[in-house]
Structure 1
Amino acid sequence: MSVSTYPLPAFTQGGGTKVPLIGGATTMLFSLIDTPTLSLSVLPDNSTGGFLVRHGRTRIGRLPQDFREHYPQLEYLAQQGFSPEVTATVSMEENSGIKAILHFPAPGIIIPQNFPPTKPWALLPAGPLRTVDTSSGDSTALPVGASPSQWLATASVLNETVVLSLNDRVVGPLTAADSAAIIEVIKHYEALGLIPIARLFVLAEAVLVALAPVAELSEEALEPQINPLPAIEPYDLHTGQFPVVDAATGTWVVTMGADTAADPLPADPEGNLRPVTSPAMLAMTPTGKPVLVEMAEAAEAAAATDAVVDAAVVDAADAAEPAEPAAVPLLGGNPHTPQPFYSGLRQTEKENGSRHLIWLIPLVLLILVAVALYWYLGQ
């Protein structure tokens, strides 16, 4: 799985630290000794509890577990799908041989306290530290107690002076000398249609930016990466906690003590138990009627229809039974006395009618069975 890098500022003032690499790959470090600015990525190492250090895809060493506990922001970035990228230096020492040092900013400076612009923007190249004159800016531009911290400030030019601002509020200008050193870079970014952004470092004693002069920039620096940092919820400087909701994924993060997570919650046998309601009890049809109610009504309708069909079958069967032959009336009580002609004709018609009715019984039953089957399949 590919992991995007998240470049950290090369700024160690205000509580930053320099950490030596443990278990460094000597051959790899020798190949990097002539690199003036080296960027290494760190990833959580679950086997040792510390961090793995890589150069590209090559593992060159690790960092101890206590360092990981001191920098929860690095693990937070890894949870967001990013690999923190830190500046490092490689040097030769007489007694210890080759040595790599990683330069980490203070924990509160790892992640900016504000989001980057929504329009295309680029970071101004890092360089020497320069002081921002906050006495000439808006005193409400920075929140009280935000130290040490990092902010993404917009750099603009006003009367040939570089001014830093946050949320359209001026933090302060740079000196005339510092403005002259970087003003052409800002104008170049603006000509490219990009918003010039500087990392603003707020310390207890000063507000600083680290910007390189235009005279020291290479051709590559004049073609900056667009939108180099993603929008990540920052570390809370006042509570020392990370946000409980990730803005990107919408997932919740719950933090609790190890004892609470390991021990089950005490049971309360005397407490009132809330009845559990089945989801089927709450399901509704598109018409707004409960599903169970509609199922009961359908069952009652089916039962009533079956009763009607059964009654119809019985009535048809009763009607289909042949009638007993009518007794031939006797005249004078003598059975051998001849009867009138129309009397025999009437008897013959009755016999023929009963015979035709018997043939209709199967047809009627077949029709009733077909009607019942059609209704049943329609339910």
Structure 2
Amino acid sequence: MKTLISSVSVFNGEILLEGLHDVVFDDTGILSVQPAGMREAATAEVTLDGTGRTLLPGLIDSHVHITDPQQLDQLLDHGVTTALDMAMWPYEFQQQIRSEGHGTAIFTAGAPLVSHHGTHARIPNFPAESMTDDAEGARRLVRERVEQGSDYIKLILESPGHGGLEADVARAAVDEAHRAGKLVVAHAAAAGAYEIGVEVGVDILTHAPLDKKLPPRLLTDMLQKHIATSPTLTMMKGTADFYAAQGLDFAFANQAVADMHKAGTTILAGTDANQAPGVPANVVHGTSIHEELRLLAQAGLAPVEALQAATSLNAKVFGLEDRGVVEPGRRADLVLVSGDPTRDIAVTENLEGVWLGGRPTEGTK
């Protein structure tokens, strides 16, 4: 069934298109994006008036943790049509999530690679077989993840001496992952972890440092090596509050994003949405993406740049070529909001419709 949204403003994932447009789509994808009033756009079974509204690509959250299938519905209810999970086990649960096709589209790293000596190794029920402290073990684990169908590889890095993977182990994992054509995402919530991640050549650093500023030299190296960041400011804010007595400060994370943005680093929108027992902050699936966009804007990104971070840039960096933009031939993962989020990022919360693969979700008007 074709749907027409008429006379709507369109943020296509990169820019706000000039003037109003008629957008036609069905479950095969976006069919046309034309200036409003074109007769060809009027052949649709369902027509919605887009006056005063903006159509966006479905939002992409580049860092979530799924422990309950219902969390995928929560994400979709708030406009997140694609979620990138950063730690999922056991493998049987991963298979269940993939096979159900439940709620928002999900990609996953499977279980991350963790040192035996770090705090992540003490997470309840964390699989011991995903822990390693030697290079060959890291290569073996990466091969296992590839065989299990992981979409990318996740590593846990910490500042030297704080229990993360050592540099030589992380480097072996990166090499093996790249050999298999997989991106490497590295947990890095401290400046020292950023240093290791840049040194070994990961593709994406997730989180932002809470302990100190990033040195200018590191910012230059990130840019030269094309390393992106998903700073998860929502989680970092909650974590800094939880560990304030230990000297962690959200101001460092906020400054890191401002500095990376100024340096030209690719910044992605991710929340670390997570309700697992023992996490330092309860970041709610779905609502948190809108908080993340506000925090990115407060750190210096223009509203358009924050929207890019949650749409086209996430799609580009993670190789999701079929989504993240509003143009013919792409998936009809779409969000309709009241107002103009390219002027006021808080407008993303004014949801009036969400479509996943061209099909309206519950609550779409």
TM category (shorter chain) comes to under 0.3
Greater RCO, CA 8 A, separation 6+: 2
Higher Rg: 1
Give the TM-score taking structure 1 as reference length. 0.23
Give the TM-score taking structure 2 as reference length. 0.23
